[in-house]
Amino acid sequence: MKTYTKETLVNELQKIRSMGWIPNARPGNDGGIGNTLEDLLGIEENNLPIPNANEWELKCQRENTTSLVTLFHMEPSPRAFKFVPNILLPNFGWHHKEAGKKYGSKEMSFRQTISGVSWSDRGFMAIVDRVNRKVLISFDSSKIDDKHAHWRDMVNVKTGLTELNPQPYWGFDDLEHKAGTKLLNCFFVQAESKREKGQTFFRYSNISILQKFKLEGLLKGIEQGFVYIDFDARTGHNHGTKFRLRRNKFSELYDTVIEI
């Protein structure tokens, strides 16, 4: 494995940018754009071999994509409740679309991408409580879309249609520690993509250095609707609760943004 300093990594990224269109090194892999860059750098996945590497993260995404960037995984408190598998999935889950096909006939799903500016069609919303220094998940059955009327009736039978009690939450201090450790500083690389003769090519066109993560940026992101909380669980397997970000808002999370 190669070893880099911050400066030599910047130089290497600039060389990769000058290479133009580069074939996808991992055909069939959803993460091919990041994996190809890691292969070009000669590094292992999510492992930057530079001094103080635990202070740096490498993020890569396609330009002009509507997909969200995963910032970090973090399960809600109170942790002892194991909210997702023990409360949300059994009480608020619904039949998985592959139930009876890929999975057993009783397979359940709880997948929600939750915003801080509008209620989901199943009645969930993220609330930034600055007084008590928490980000909470709120449930309001009056916000459930009529297309989910049958599911609403199921929830009513299982647990009632009142507010979650207790509410799952993330303390500000916990979020600052988690994000500050994971995302203190970040190399953010954006790439164009194209297909020719059945093969995908990437061009790594934009490189930014983002320094000094700030919790206030994350909180404002939730309040303004460009940071989301994403639940993704099914019976027997929790894929993890993620904080996710709109691609063009990365700079909002940092004190310093340097375009390379």
The closest of 68, 67, 48 to 58, measured between CA atoms, is 48
Report the DSSP beta bridge partners of residue 112. 231
The 8-class DSSP code of residue 67 comes to P
The bridge status of strand 185-196 relative to strand 56-62 is parallel
pLDDT at position 135 over 90 = yes
What secondary structure letter does DSSP report for 53?
Answer: G
What pLDDT is recorded for position 183? 84
With bands split at pLDDT 50, 70 and 90, how would you rate the model's confidence at 129? Answer: very high
Fold (CATH) for 6-72+180-214+246-259: PvuII Endonuclease; Chain A (3.40.210)
Alpha helix (H) residue ranges in the chain: 6-18, 32-41, 83, 89-92, 149-158, 172-183, 215-224
pLDDT in tens, 181-217: 878 888 889 899 998 988 899 999 999 999 999 999 9
For residue 147, pLDDT over 90 is answered with yes
What's the whole-number mean pLDDT along residues 104-130? 95
Query: Are 41 and 3 contacting, i.e. CB atoms less than 8 angstroms apart?
Result: no
**Residues 142-146: what's their mean pLDDT?**
97
Map tokens 């639940």 to a residue.
Answer: 231
| pLDDT confidence of residue 238 | 87
**Percentage of the chain surpassing pLDDT 90?**
57
Residues of the chain with CATH 3.40.210.20: 6-72+180-214+246-259
User: How far apart, in whole angstroms, are the C-alpha atoms of residue 88 and residue 235?
Assistant: 11
Rounded mean pLDDT, 238-259: 90
Q: What are 18-42's pLDDT values in tens digits?
A: 999 999 987 765 568 888 998 898 8
